[in-house]
Amino acid sequence: MTVPGSAHLVLAPGVVHLNEPAAVFEAMLSGWARQQKSRLLAEATIEPRMSLVRRFAAFAESPPWDWTAGDVEDFTASLMSGEDRLAPSTIRGYHLTLRLFCDYLLDGRYGWIAQWEERFGTIPAQVCHDYNTAAHLVEYEGRPARRPFSYDEVETLFGFLDDRVETIARSGRKGALAALRDAQMVKTAYAFGLRRRELCCLDVVDLRPNPRMPDWGTYGAVHVRYAKSSRGSSPRRRTVLAVPEFDWVIAGLRQWVEQARPLLKPGPRQALWLTERKAQVSVKTVDKRFAFLRDQAGLSKDLSLHCLRHSYVTHLIEFGYPERFVTEQVGHSYASTTAIYTSVSNDFKTKTLQAALNRVYGTHPTHGARQDGRPRELPHGGDDKREDL
């Protein structure tokens, strides 16, 4: 039985190559790419893997059939040295890629072992083992500096975004629409807990009504069609409901869709977030714009747009929403992932404990603690009443 990625599918028999090792190595990569495509993996997954294998081969200065475990250890040491040392999670991903490539070559169904023995007289070996690769020991491997925005930081960011729109609009300079779009994109990411790609890929038709809140019109929910995918599957879809604590986002979305966006003359284009050239805003552009706005607002460089998603989860938990509801809202498969995103404040913990003491022991709050146990008000979206665009 022939399987995708087999040696005879990418190596023509009887052909003499001027540089046989290089030709066979490229054939291996081509076969591995076929095998991964047959698993419906995306090009965005396959290409970085191929690049890493080529990078490792260049580092080891040898083809795969001459690799050793020592090459992996030396490669890892190089990745961990210098100012540009990589994060442990990145290195672990590199190890996994090399292990997968070696597993593919050593699988007898693909015929590479026979090719090696016939052409080079060598027997291959797996070079990635438990003793020389990074283990996945903890759920979250991100940088410790990455954290949710505090309430004050969210208010600072939103206040800066609103003031920036007002300043540009009153000055008469070009860019008021772009400033309003940037402000509303950031607020929408926070108010619905969206990932960057989910935010950028929204269309106008993805804005949905909430039957229980007719006053919100078509802005009571967001249908996410480009969520995270896994193991070659299509992007998972979900509908994120607007919650009362974030109802300020409704006015902002309505203003953008009904007043500001038409000024760009989008025509038949359905993309919710358009540039002044009528192109859909890309993830790369959002990253650059957010970094600029964050720095201008005087916030920490460790805070990224994705940190607002962490803030969304944390603030909903602090406001008393059930964990299952929050997990569904953000599109996590497991509650344990949502738990990683949650970083409730010490103030919330104290109030929760005080409420438990009251419930169990019938005591009363002391030292000025609030009796309702509710967290402070969530940041609002600012004043969206701007007519001078």
Largest CA distance in the chain: 88
In a domain, 262, yes or no: yes
Whether residues 79 and 220 share a domain: the answer is no
106 with 189, same domain: the answer is no
pLDDT value, residue 295: 96
332's tokens: 């996590």
134 belongs to a structural domain: no
Residues 201 and 299 placed together within one structural domain of the fold: yes
**How many CB atoms are located within 10 Å of the residue 336 CB?**
10
Taking only the tens place, the pLDDT of each residue in 20-34 is: 889 999 999 999 999
Contact 165, 386 (CB under 8 A): yes
187 CA to centre of own chain:
17
Name the residue among 236, 129, 149, 244 with its Cα closest to residue 190: 149
| Confidence at residue 387, expressed as pLDDT on a 0 to 100 scale | 43
**pLDDT number for residue 373:** 42
For residue 376, the SS3 value is coil
Per-residue tokens: 221? 């929910």
Residue 360 lies in a domain: no
Q: Which band of pLDDT confidence, cut at 50, 70 and 90, is reported for residue 371?
A: very low
Residue 307 pLDDT exceeds 60: yes
Q: What mean pLDDT comes out for the span 118-144?
A: 77
Which DSSP category does 207 fall into?
E
Q: If you ran DSSP here, which 8-state letter would residue 379 be given?
A: P
CB 9 within 8 A of CB 30: no
The pTM of the full predicted model, rounded to 2 decimals, is 0.71
What is the model's pLDDT at position 366?
A: 47
Domain membership of residue 23 as a residue range: 7-120
Cα dihedral sign, 86-74-46-126: negative
Residues 112 and 173 both lie in one domain? no
Q: In which residue are the tokens 């809202």 written?
A: 329
Average pLDDT, the chain: 85
User: Residue 273 pLDDT > 60, yes or no?
Assistant: yes
- Which residue, 346, 361, 383, sits at the end of a domain? 346
Model confidence at 122, pLDDT cuts 50, 70, 90, reads confident
pLDDT at 186 over 60: yes
Q: Distance (Å, rounded) from C-alpha 142 to C-alpha 87?
A: 8
Q: Which amino acid is at 276?
A: E
CA distance linking residue 266 with residue 277, whole number of Å: 9
For the domain that residue 30 is a member of, what is the CATH number? 1.10.150
Q: Quick one: 106 and 200 in the same domain?
A: no
For residue 222, what is the domain's CATH number? 1.10.443.10
Q: Do residue 159 and residue 115 come from a single domain? A: no
Greater confidence (321 vs 344) lies with 321
Phi-psi region of 172 (alpha: psi -120 to 50; beta: other; left: phi over 0): left
Single out the residue of 114, 134, 148, 106 nearest to residue 340, CA to CA. 148
Does pLDDT of 372 surpass 70?
no
pLDDT computed for residue 318 by the predictor: 85
User: Do 183 and 44 belong to one domain?
Assistant: no
Residue 145, SS3 per DSSP: coil
Say what the pLDDT of residue 337 is.
Answer: 65
Q: Sign (positive/negative) of CA torsion 185, 189, 191, 194?
A: positive
β-strand partners of 222: 207, 240
- 90 shares a domain with 159: no
- Tokens 């104290």 locate to 350
Number of domains in the chain: 2
The pLDDT-based confidence of 10 (bands split at 50, 70, 90) is confident
In this predicted model, what pLDDT tens digit does every residue of 20-71 receive, in sequence order? 889 999 999 999 999 999 988 889 899 999 999 999 999 999 999 999 999 9
Q: How far is CA 249 from CA 219, 256, 329, 374, in A?
A: 9, 11, 16, 22
pLDDT of residue 367: 45
Q: Are 11 and 24 in contact (CB under 8 A)?
A: yes
Answer yes or no: is 89 within a domain. yes
Instruction: Tell me, rounded to whole angstroms, the distance of Cα 293 from its chain centroid.
Output: 19
pLDDT (tens digit, 9 = 90+) per residue, 140-171?
555 666 788 988 999 999 999 999 999 999 98
pLDDT band at residue 261 under the 50/70/90 scheme: very high
Helix pair angle (88-106, 112-120), 10° resolution: 80
* Neighbour order of strands in the sheet with 221-224: 207-208, 221-224, 238-241
Task: List the single range of 130-144, 267-281, 340-354 with lowest mean pLDDT.
Answer: 340-354
